[in-house]
Structure 1
Amino acid sequence: MMKHHFSALVLFFSIFCGTTTNINAQERPLKVTYTVNSDKTVAFEYEKTDPGSYTVILKFRQLSNCSESDEQELSAVHYSGSLLTLKPTDKERGIGFSYTYASIRGKLRPKYDADFIYILPCKKGTKVKVSDVGFLGAKYFGNTTPEDWKVYKFYTQTEDTVTAVRKGIVVSVKDLYETGDANNAVYSSKVNEMIIEHADGTLATYKGFKHGSIAVKEGQTVFPGTALGINSQSNANSKPGIILSVSYLKSTEGIGLEGKTLQNSKSLYGFVTPHFYTDGNANEVLAVKQEYTAADSPDILKKEFTKKELKQRIK
Structure 2
Amino acid sequence: MFKSTLFLVSFLLVCFYSFAQDGEIKVNSEWNPDQSLSIYTNSQKTGQNTVKLKFTTLRGFEARRVSNKIFIATVGPGKKEILRLKKIPDYTGQSARYNYSVFDGASLRKSPDENFKYVLPTSENTDIKVFSVRDISDLEIVKDKGSSFFAIGFTFRGKDSICAVRAGQVLEVVNILKVEESRETIYQSGRNKITIQHKDGTIAKYTITAPVDMMIKEGEFVIPGQPLAAFKDAELKNNLQLQVYYLSNSILRSPDIGKKSPYVGVPLKFTANNGEFFGVLKKNEEYKQYLNPDIISEELSKRQKKKLKL
Question: Where on the TM-score scale, by shorter chain, does this alignment land: which range?
Answer: 0.7 to 0.9
2:75 is matched with which residue? Answer: 76
Shift of residue 287 of structure 1? 0.6
2:3 is matched with which residue? Answer: none
Shift of residue 83 of structure 1? 0.7
Question: 1: distance between equivalents of 2:10 and 2:179?
Answer: 54
The counterpart of 2:263, out of the listed 258, 262, 269, is: 269
Question: 2: distance between equivalents of 1:198 and 1:97?
Answer: 35
> Does the 8 Å CA contact 2:182/2:211 hold for their aligned counterparts?
no
1:248 is matched with which residue? Answer: 246
The 5 Å alignment of 1:164-243 reads 164-184=164-184, 186-208=186-208, 210-211=210-211, 213-231=213-231, 239-243=237-241
Moved more, 40-49 or 210-219: 210-219
Moved more, 29-38 or 224-233: 224-233
**CA gap 1:110/1:279 in 2 versus in 1, 3 angstroms:** farther
CA RMSD of aligned residues (A): 3.1
Secondary structure of 1:299's aligned partner? helix
**CA gap 1:104/1:120 in 2 versus in 1, 3 angstroms:** same
2:56 is equivalent to residue 89 of structure 1: no
The 5 Å alignment of 1:144-163 reads 148-163=148-163
Question: 2: distance between equivalents of 1:209 and 1:216?
Answer: 18
TM-score by length of 2: 0.83
Superimposed CA distance per residue, residues 98-129 of structure 1 (whole angstroms, 9 cap, x where no aligned partner): 22210111222255221110110111122111
2:14 is equivalent to residue 6 of structure 1: yes
Secondary structure of 1:288's aligned partner? coil
Shift of residue 144 of structure 1? 12
The counterpart of 1:57, out of the listed 52, 59, 64, is: 52
Superimposed CA distance per residue, residues 143-174 of structure 1 (whole angstroms, 9 cap, x where no aligned partner): 89966532011111223211111111111222
Moved more, 127-136 or 304-313: 127-136
2:26 is matched with which residue? Answer: 31
Moved more, 192-201 or 143-152: 143-152
> Does the 8 Å CA contact 1:119/1:294 hold for their aligned counterparts?
yes
Question: 2: distance between equivalents of 1:115 and 1:242?
Answer: 22
Question: 2: distance between equivalents of 1:232 and 1:149?
Answer: 29
Question: 2: distance between equivalents of 1:218 and 1:139?
Answer: 26
2:306 is equivalent to residue 311 of structure 1: yes
Moved more, 91-100 or 32-41: 91-100
**CA gap 1:187/1:174 in 2 versus in 1, 3 angstroms:** closer
2:115 is matched with which residue? Answer: 115
**CA gap 1:269/1:126 in 2 versus in 1, 3 angstroms:** same
The counterpart of 2:292, out of the listed 286, 290, 297, is: 297
Secondary structure of 1:5's aligned partner? strand
> Does the 8 Å CA contact 1:110/1:201 hold for their aligned counterparts?
no
Name stretches of at least 5 consecutive residues in structure 1 with no aligned partner: 12-24
2:100 is equivalent to residue 101 of structure 1: yes
Question: 1: distance between equivalents of 2:268 and 2:93?
Answer: 51
Shift of residue 139 of structure 1? 6.7
Question: 2: distance between equivalents of 1:231 and 1:99?
Answer: 47
2:107 is equivalent to residue 129 of structure 1: no
The number of aligned residues is 293
> Does the 8 Å CA contact 1:34/1:44 hold for their aligned counterparts?
yes
**CA gap 1:207/1:169 in 2 versus in 1, 3 angstroms:** same
Shift of residue 301 of structure 1? 1.1
Name stretches of at least 5 consecutive residues in structure 2 with no aligned partner: 1-8
Secondary structure of 2:270's aligned partner? strand
Shift of residue 303 of structure 1? 1.2
Shift of residue 140 of structure 1? 7.2
**CA gap 1:202/1:125 in 2 versus in 1, 3 angstroms:** same
Shift of residue 30 of structure 1? 1.1
2:40 is matched with which residue? Answer: 45
Shift of residue 134 of structure 1? 4.9
TM-score by length of 1: 0.82
> Does the 8 Å CA contact 1:122/1:294 hold for their aligned counterparts?
yes
Question: 1: distance between equivalents of 2:265 and 2:74?
Answer: 21
Q: Which amino acid aligns with 1:240?
A: N
Higher strand share: 2
Shift of residue 135 of structure 1? 4.7
Question: 2: distance between equivalents of 1:218 and 1:176?
Answer: 15
